[in-house]
Amino acid sequence: MNAQTQTAIWLQAWDSQGPHRTGTAGDHAGADWVAAQARALGPQATEETFALDRLDPGDCSLHIGGTSIPGVPVFDAPATTGITGRLSETGGIAVVSLAPGAVYSGEYHRLRQTAAHDALVIVCSGTHPGLGLLNAEQFNHPYGAPAIHVDTGSVVPDGRMARLVSKSMRTRTNARNIVVTLKGSDPGRKPVVVMTPRSSWWQSTAERGGGIVCWLETLRALLANPPSCDVILTANSGHELGHLGLDDFCARRPGWDQQGGATWVHYGANIGASEGSLSVVSADDSLRDAMRDALAAAGRPPDTMAPKTLVPSGETRDIHRAGGRYVTLVGTNPWFHLPSDRYPLTVDVPAIARIATAAASMVVGLTR
């Protein structure tokens, strides 16, 4: 089977599992599927389970006169049975238009923390319309005023009186990282971690699918070219909830995220998304060069090489801040965080296949 055919099969399977939100049925279906694909290649995949209080939304809406606009909670904001106020840009029930990437800005956190408003309505914005939800970076520690998302096309007139409702319940449950460990021939070498997140708000086939394909292709390549150092491949849950899965992975391996610890290869969001671009992010010259050269050799060079001073916005942000050594592949995606991020519309199968081949080659070279 050629690489493009295999890539398409994997992406279709991923798309069929339903929304992959952490701790839900779709997340567990994704975990089972990734583990099965790893076992089909040869090695035993293990599960590393972590607990969370999953947020299950209830009535979430904005009522303006006789109109009710459905919403989705901001997952790290407190719930409310109802807050009444005047819609405005600042006080009462504040209304702001935000894209998913806004969550990584200091301005967003200042907006959430201000006492100037009693509640917040986020009108989702982006290249395409829909419910482009913002990640819950403080999921375990909700903060600020009650806040909800509403769809891009929602009409929220300034100055009207409104009532915001955001009900939910917390359910104690578990989520799972899927981990494959390949022992190297030289136990004195530092380990390499190959990581991709696999949870998200929706199906998120372009957001997560490219990283999953890269992860599986890397596992296949390492089995054909056994490493000299230990390699641990982890496909993590908890991404959209402040990287809960990575936190658990690192807690089990103290010091790996720090200087002198492991080397991390991170397959991030939107790799090979249709109409998207591809970037290499790393502060390490040798890792940057190796990934760039592998991509060029495979016929899909990166569109940009991020500045070495850039702080990543995904899981390797945590590695960067801890002083660890990493390289990240990450892309852009016009359907980012939208329910419409679905196969086949949002994925470039040939591009993903080439990128996965390149990434696997780079990791093989790194581990020899």
pLDDT at 91 > cutoff 90: no
Q: How confident is the model at residue 1, as a pLDDT?
A: 85
Tally Cβ neighbours within 10 Å of residue 81. Answer: 10
Rounded Cα distance between 335 and 203, Å, is 11
Phi-psi group of 323: left, alpha or beta (phi > 0 → left; psi -120 to 50 → alpha; rest → beta): left
User: What residue ranges do the domains of the chain occupy?
Assistant: 3-54+173-366, 57-169
- Rounded percentage of the chain residues whose pLDDT exceeds 70: 100
Q: Provide the pLDDT confidence category of residue 314 given band limits of 50, 70 and 90.
A: confident
Question: Which residues lie closer than 8 Å to 92 by C-beta, 6 or more apart?
Answer: 85, 86, 117, 118, 119
Q: How confident is the model at residue 90, as a pLDDT?
A: 84
Q: Check: CATH 3.40.50.1860 for 3-54+173-366?
A: no
pLDDT digits (tens, 9 = 90+) for 19-32: 999 999 999 999 99
- Please tell me the CATH code under which domain 57-169 is placed: 3.50.30.30
pTM of the model: 0.97
pLDDT digits (tens, 9 = 90+) for 71-89: 999 999 999 999 999 999 8
Q: How confident is the model at residue 122, as a pLDDT?
A: 98
First to last CA, the chain: 27
Question: Which residues lie closer than 8 Å to 267 by C-beta, 6 or more apart?
Answer: 194, 195, 196, 210, 211, 212, 214, 215, 328, 329, 359
Rounded mean pLDDT of the chain? 97
Q: How confident is the model at residue 115, as a pLDDT?
A: 82
